[in-house]
Amino acid sequence: MRILGIDPGLATTGFAILDLHAGQKKLITCGVIRTSPKLRLSERLLEIEKDMKAIIQQYKPETCSIEQLFFSKNVTTGIAVSHARGALLMALETFKVPFSEVSPSAMKRALTGDGRADKKMIQKMVTLELGLKEVPKPDDAADAVSLALSLACTLR
């Protein structure tokens, strides 16, 4: 099964493609979609949707794990992420890719057994589970890998 992990953001959206076959997990690729703050909001959202459609067309994921919107202290950032998530969900719907919305704590629990695990523990589990020599970079891509991997762990 091919899994797409998405860490949504307006400036930077992380993505990861992971294959799960016979219990074996393999990272195919990961990276980020970046948009310029000089562009209008609508232009940035169109860029996110267009780039995600290209990723979906190229890698043909069968399912997706996208981070659930979580408001903490900065509501303004949450609104921007919400806009980006809308563009990403439109891209997923265009290609009929089913998706799961995963909270940060659910992702942490799936990978470590602890919903309050810190970033270092998550990164360690990602490298161990996928046999990587180092944590994927940048952080948004690494977060997308952890989202894809958390879904893979529930599909075993």
Q: Answer for the pair 59, 28: CB distance below 8 angstroms, yes or no.
A: yes
* φ/ψ of residue 114, rounded to 5: -130, 115
Active site residues: 7, 67, 140
Q: Answer for the pair 148, 5: CB distance below 8 angstroms, yes or no.
A: yes
Any idea which architecture 2-155 has in CATH? Answer: 2-Layer Sandwich (3.30)
* Strands 24-34 and 12-21, sheet pairing: antiparallel
The residue with tokens 């180092």 is 134
- For the chain, give me the number of helices (H) and strands (E)? 5, 5
Percent with pLDDT over 90 in the chain: 88
Amino acid in the structure at residue 153:
C
Q: What is the rounded CA–CA span in Å between residue 35 and residue 44?
A: 6
Q: What angle do CA 121, 126, 127 make, to 5 degrees?
A: 100
Tens digit of each residue's pLDDT (9 = 90 or more) over 43-77: 999 999 999 999 999 999 999 999 998 656 666 67
**pLDDT at residue 76, as a whole number:** 66
